[in-house]
Homo-oligomer: A and B are copies of this chain.
Amino acid sequence: MSSEGGYTGKVGEFLREHDLSVGDRVRIVREDGIEIEGVIMPRSELGDDEHVVIKMDNGYNVGVHIDRIEDVERLGRGKEPSFRPLDIEVGRDPELPDVAILSTGGTIACRVDYETGAVKPAFTAEELVSAIPELPEVVNIVEARPVMDLLSENMTPSHWLEIAENVVEAFEEGADGVVVCHGTDTMAYTAAALSFLLKDLPGPVVLVGAQRSSDRPSSDAASNLIAACAFAGEVEAGEVAVCMHGWTSDEVCLVHRGVKVRKMHTSRRDAFRSIDTIPLARVDIRDLRNPMLDVLRDDLRPAGDGPEMEGGFEERVALLKFAPGMAPEVLDSLVDAGYRGIVLEGTGLGHVSESWIPSIERAVDEGVAVVMTSQCLYGRVNMNVYRTGRLLKVAGVIPGDDMLPEVAYVKLMYVLDRTDDLEEVERMMRTNVAGEIEGKRVVGGFEPADGPHHGLF
């Protein structure tokens, strides 16, 4: 791990000069005489290249300007974080379900192990349990495995495979359900990838993240993790899901189907939404020792006797959003560069400018799979209604039905790893695998965004 904890410039230099690492306990004397004692935190929301962040014993973080430090004394070394998978039993209760927790990075992971101050996900089961004392009353954490440490914008299909392999192992070792801590930025993409890749899941795989790091009073890390563990442990279903806050209060988490969920807000704790459908479950988290689970649907994927996984993802696939005025040469250049699949994020029912049609025809002629989705996000593509849609279908575009653009993108990667034949690609893309295509309309999922809550209706 980087002992500089992301600090660069002046602060990085200062730490090296004084042989200090993130996690070390220090006493700092500021030029105004104020003494600050605490643990050096990684550079984070409060940190820049001129401030070092100290977590004081009262729990508050403070940024100290490097030029204002008169003296610094190291009181102790930080704990050395462990990255070894741990299979331990922390007061295992035979009445409770067994849940394995995998960590891949992101806000939820880098803060759970707060004492060491490590940026890397370094928590052990003991540390988790000590950080969230309610957890052992809900499930047995039979394993806590750091799989990788990534800000989720850096995830790639090969990381999806690595996570999937670890999920398989955790089930093989006897977990009833698996929880995957993940950065929120691309959590929905990973959830879709696992949904397609993992077959015959014997129990739930629940991805969970946090929108607020656990050093903030409003952190959703602990409650989201407890809710995720409750669903993973208690529900008998072969679902891949995402569990996050359901509203701005700390009253409820929602568990969303992994292929029907999207991060819809940059910062709010209830950023994740089931799109055009209802969530799988709600979890009342008002009492963290006793989360109350309500399953909201009767169509959960049945638990299987796997999990099985094989194959991977074709990486020469692009997601291409159309906007008026955009020239089709963007698409041409993808075909020229050897891309094998392109998911278009068109307008309305699934349209792009007619000026794109020759380029699309050429792409299809060269064997490139072109799939249409809608930037509306809600609703479903219907290419039979208007002239443009019909022309696109004639040109060989595969309708993405009610798949989210991001989900169609992941699915096309999955499908193209398994077949080259465009007819088979179309058949597979239009066949439901994990709930990404809903045959019948589920009532709900598109509420008035400016509706009853503001008295507009």
A451 to B279, CA, bound (A): 10
A252: chain B residues at CB < 8 Å are: 456-457
The reply to whether the CB of A258 lies closer than 8 angstroms to some CB of chain B is no
The reply to whether the CB of A329 lies closer than 8 angstroms to some CB of chain B is yes
Cross-chain contact B153 with A454 (CB below 8 angstroms): no
Cross-chain contact A379 with B265 (CB below 8 angstroms): yes
Interface residues contributed by chain A, number (CB under 8 Å): 96
The reply to whether the CB of A195 lies closer than 8 angstroms to some CB of chain B is no
Cross-chain contact B349 with A246 (CB below 8 angstroms): no
Q: A347-B185, A447-B450, A450-B279 are in contact. Are A151 and B268 (CB under 8 A)?
A: no
Cross-chain contact A189 with B263 (CB below 8 angstroms): no
Instruction: Please choose the segment from A56-64, A370-378, A427-435 that sits at the chain B interface, where 4 or more of its residues have CB less than 8 A away.
Output: A370-378
The reply to whether the CB of A380 lies closer than 8 angstroms to some CB of chain B is yes
Cβ-defined partner of A354 (8 Å) among B154, B247, B273, B321: B154
A189: chain B residues at CB < 8 Å are: 323-324
The reply to whether the CB of A398 lies closer than 8 angstroms to some CB of chain B is no
Cross-chain contact B151 with A449 (CB below 8 angstroms): no
Cross-chain contact B448 with A444 (CB below 8 angstroms): no
Q: A153-B352, A263-B348 are in contact. Are A449 and B273 (CB under 8 A)?
A: yes
* Cβ-closest chain B residue relative to A385: B45
**Which positions in A face B, CB cutoff 8 Å?**
6, 43, 45, 48, 151-157, 184-186, 189-190, 246-247, 251-252, 254, 263-268, 270-271, 273-275, 278-279, 282, 296, 313, 315, 317-327, 329-330, 333-334, 337, 345-355, 374-382, 384-388, 390, 406, 409, 413, 444-454, 456-457
Task: Beyond A156-B325, A264-B376, list 14 extra A-B contacts (CB 8 Å).
Answer: A45-B386, A151-B387, A154-B353, A246-B457, A247-B457, A264-B446, A267-B380, A267-B382, A274-B450, A275-B449, A323-B406, A444-B450, A444-B454, A446-B449
Jot down 20 A-B pairs with beta carbons below 8 A, ordered by A.
Answer: A153-B348, A154-B324, A154-B355, A247-B451, A251-B457, A263-B375, A265-B379, A266-B349, A266-B376, A268-B446, A271-B379, A274-B449, A315-B327, A317-B325, A320-B321, A323-B406, A444-B453, A445-B450, A447-B451, A452-B452
